[in-house]
Amino acid sequence: MLDTLEIPPGAHAAGDLSPRLGRGRIAPLASRLYYLDPSLPPLAVRAPATGQLVGQVSRGSAADVREAVGRGRKAQEAWAHRTLTERAEIFIRFHDLLLDRQDEVLDLIQLESGKARKHAFEEVADTAIVAVYYAENAGRHLAPKRRKGALPGLTVAWEHHHPRGVVAIISPWNYPLSLAATDAIPALMAGNAVILKPDRQTPFTALWVAELLAEAGLPPGLFQVIPGEGAELGTPLIESCDFLTFTGSTETGRIVGRQAGERLIGHTLELGGKNPMLVLADADAGAAIEGAVRGCFSSAGQLCISIERLFLHESLYHAFLDRFVRETRALRLGASFEYDVDMGCLISEAHLAKVEEHVRDAVTKGAEVLAGGRPRPDLGPTFYEPTILTGVTPGMKLFAEETFGPVVAVYSFDSVHDAIERANASRYGLNASVWTRDLELGHRVAARLQCGTVNVNEAYAAAWASVDAPMGGFKDSGLGRRHGAEGILKYTNSQTIAIQRGLPLAAPAGVTDEIFSRAMSLTLKVLRRVPGLR
């Protein structure tokens, strides 16, 4: 019964958050907004850990979107002519300011999302890594490149990349710093302006990013934040921008993709996941258990690349599961602005209800709860215990649907082939994890998994933090990639310039088309047989 629950050692009930409101400088952040119609009702932002009002921000309208895009276009014209070195200097300063002032944004992230501080810090680290990466590598990705021409010695081809113009980013609530800033940074480094629509529940973190970019030297109009409802602002953004980046649910992503397709504008979609973790017979069980705890319960499971399906080899199933349950039950839950809790709360009461419904449906149909499975109103209105279930089968919502909470279903397997087949039996394909001491085997297994990123002997952070490599999903987990070369080239229009010297690629004067065709055929045969000419 809920009324008999006790706060375990190390858990923190949520208290008054107002002392942090001053340190987070909530009110001044609204000065980063531009609005045509201040009469629109403001958005109230509440801390999910307590329900306490964090603050209010003005609500954007379709007219605000159009005006912001117009401002962005004017600013982008001058920005596109800045050298890459000049742009990079701004993001190096942003990196340094971010690390120096991280306590401010850690407070904001926790206030708005309810996550534990160590999970909020993952966002700071991620944003800093991405800022430096693109500051140092944008030139390598964007510089004009010599390409092989049609006819060696006669055709010279070059590849150029030009900014698209105004990029719209629709970012989610679960990573309000990381997914607001790390998509914007490569777009800006590529010479674009950015219009950011953060989730209505987490606008202050996005406004703080705008403030820090301005302090780092980013010119006005290049990074604008428009808070509001997605249903009201999504269509105007898509109708006005030159490229769109969306992170959110697969269902909403389909709608966004259709609208972007109608305008024939480029877009990337990072969507849902039902991510598997495979623990092979020879795995280091201790390391894998620690990885499973992090992979399943970081940010209270509200992480697109977190683990929701855990596959254990039958030889270690019982011993692994017993210890995994003990480690999970020992996690410290609560609301704290210090590094003394392991897991925070869910984003809203509506999301809590969805997580509860998934677990209740599974239990009603025969699944067994080994840990958790209960809300924790004694800690705050949206806390839910980290939960482990067995006996989850097809027909249960938890089996195939994304729960997006601190809930994992555990299964056993008897062969690697069986584990791979079951892991791939999902409409999603975002992230996966494989644990084994045999790294060559781990690589082979990873390559057979139908996921955009696969971590060997790590849950999610290794692939995510390897920002020189692309990150994105297969199947219903999305389109396009962030990070690496793809993460910045998507924000450009590629252009080929080919210069023909000497003979034209057509029959010259006095030569019949038949003779020219035979000569060209002979040339093509020679080119195929001479290494290096093609």
- Which SS3 state, helix, strand or coil, does residue 446 take? helix
What are the backbone angles phi and psi of residue 394, rounded to the nearest 5°? -55, 145
Beta bridge partners of 454: 432
Tally of helices (H runs) and strands (E runs) in the chain: 19, 20
**What single-letter amino acid sits at 321?**
L
Catalytic residue among 67, 123, 211, 270: 270
Tell me, yes or no, if 345 is annotated catalytic: no
Angle of CA points 65, 66, 71, to nearest 5°: 95
Question: Is 4 strand, coil or helix?
Answer: helix
The answer to whether residue 327 is catalytic is no
| Other residues' Cβ atoms within 10 Å of the Cβ of residue 332 | 15
Q: Which of 112, 123, 241, 304 is catalytic?
A: 304
- Dihedral sign (CA 357, 363, 367, 371): positive
Extract long-range pairs of 181-184: CB within 8 Å, 24+ residues apart.
Answer: 181/127, 181/130, 181/131, 181/209, 182/126, 182/127, 182/130, 182/482, 183/245, 183/247, 183/482, 184/209, 184/223
Q: Is 510 exposed, middle or buried (0-12, 13-18, 19+ CB in 10 A)?
A: exposed
**211 and 161 Cβ atoms separated by less than 8 Å:** no
Distance CA 120, CA 113 (A): 9
Cross-strand partners of 97: none
Handedness of CA 402, 369, 278, 130 (dihedral sign): positive
**138 closest CA partner among 92, 181, 189:** 189
Burial 421-441 (b: 16+ CB within 10 A, else e): eebbebebbbbbbbbbeeeee
Helix axes 84-100, 178-189, angle to 10 degrees: 160
Inter-residue contact 55 to 21 (CB < 8 Å): yes
Q: Which residues are catalytic?
A: 270, 304
